[in-house]
Copies of this chain bind each other. A is one copy, B any other.
């Protein structure tokens, strides 16, 4: 029976994180493994009010089939937001609503990728993107990211030798590392891609979650013709609504709409209308500021706990936003082995391995700070520090 499956589904890495999350269901385990927004911050009451209003005013409309492009009012909001926040002039017609921004990756793969095409991804990079693009049997060209952003020297060489179809980036508070591309890094990256036919994907699910530092321009400002923007309501409102979007040029968006239709006809009108109503009745900027405040405090708490409890030789990022930070263990400590030990100590994280397309048994790990309060973070990081010290001894 196993020979009935397509070649492409065999290429998709199974989500290792899903497996890990199962281990962390034990309520005595403090988990920094998840990638979830903090549920206590969901605007449940406001969403309920919006749902009621929508069903009262336009119930039969929102429960009927809708346009593949998405609700025009939602697309107008997204266009206005790009204008206000980034000074980008994006037409409503160039925006497609998707069922979460994961679906944007699926649609871009369908429309742009042939088997064997090459594409640049960040190393380490977003597992969901690796999964979505794997369905197209592509060749990944990983380019390392550091605290400054993408390794532009490596990128330049990969672009000139590999002539990739796509470069996939998460320039703000990247998953898994929590790093952001600096202004200089963005400019250097844009210069490398300028004049090439390579398409740049700027995936920005976390951009609004800045709790420190100053925002940088969108990469699209430098590469307006080549850049595809992805966005999401998952981190600023609620992921259970499954709402994201793609902004792309006219010709590409038409192809994406065809792919969207073939994929799931359209995204729920009902959830789209709820968000439109929510945005019109509430101060979403205030709501986002509240999220940023909470995540900033939790990130600060995690960094402080790490100072206290981690042995020297553990390096880590200092995010200015988002939901994750990234740690590098002393050489010789394998994060997968640490995970087994840490689970016994009742603390969990994601070992780095699933975020790389090459190599294994890495000494890196992802820690999520969006879902735990400062007290829990202190206890969890103390446990993890102990586990690392024990590993250090085992290693020595």
A contact residues, total (Cβ < 8 Å):
77
**Does A135 sit within 8 A of B, measured CB to CB?**
yes
What 1/0 mask marks residues of chain A from 260 to 274 whose CB sits below 8 Å from any chain B CB?
011111111111000
**Does A238 sit within 8 A of B, measured CB to CB?**
yes
Please tell me if the beta carbons of A258 and B12 are within 8 angstroms of each other in the complex. yes
Q: How far is the CA of A224 from the CA of B65 in the complex (A)?
A: 33
**Does A165 sit within 8 A of B, measured CB to CB?**
yes
Oligomer: number of copies = 2
Residues on B with C-beta less than 8 A from A8 are 110, 114
**Does A55 sit within 8 A of B, measured CB to CB?**
yes
Please tell me if the beta carbons of B261 and A15 are within 8 angstroms of each other in the complex. yes
- Which secondary structure dominates chain A's binding surface? helix
Q: Determine the residue in chain B with the shortest Cβ distance to A243.
A: B268
Q: Determine the residue in chain B with the shortest Cβ distance to A250.
A: B1
Checking B56, B61, B263 against A132 with a beta-carbon cut-off of 8 angstroms, the contacting residue is B263
Stretch in A38-46, A187-195, A319-327 with 4+ CB within 8 Å of B: A38-46
Please tell me if the beta carbons of B6 and A113 are within 8 angstroms of each other in the complex. yes
**Does A259 sit within 8 A of B, measured CB to CB?**
yes
**Does A62 sit within 8 A of B, measured CB to CB?**
yes
Q: How far is the CA of A262 from the CA of B113 in the complex (A)?
A: 15
Please tell me if the beta carbons of B103 and A6 are within 8 angstroms of each other in the complex. no
Please tell me if the beta carbons of A251 and B1 are within 8 angstroms of each other in the complex. yes
**Does A111 sit within 8 A of B, measured CB to CB?**
yes
Checking B35, B47, B52 against A59 with a beta-carbon cut-off of 8 angstroms, the contacting residue is B47
Q: Determine the residue in chain B with the shortest Cβ distance to A59.
A: B44
Please tell me if the beta carbons of A55 and B63 are within 8 angstroms of each other in the complex. no
Residues 205-240 of A at the B interface (beta carbon under 8 Å): 234, 238-240
Q: What would 10 more interface pairs be, CB under 8 Å, given A102-B264, A132-B263?
A: A2-B251, A6-B111, A9-B258, A18-B261, A42-B60, A63-B239, A102-B263, A102-B265, A128-B261, A128-B265
Q: List 17 A-B contacts (CB under 8 A).
A: A6-B111, A6-B112, A6-B113, A6-B136, A8-B114, A15-B258, A39-B64, A42-B60, A44-B55, A51-B52, A63-B238, A65-B234, A100-B265, A103-B264, A128-B261, A132-B263, A242-B266
Interface residues of A (CB under 8 A from B): 1-2, 4-9, 12, 14-15, 18, 35-37, 39-40, 42, 44, 47-48, 51-52, 55-56, 59-66, 68, 98-100, 102-103, 106, 110-115, 128, 131-132, 134-136, 165, 197, 199, 234, 238-242, 251-252, 255, 258-259, 261-271
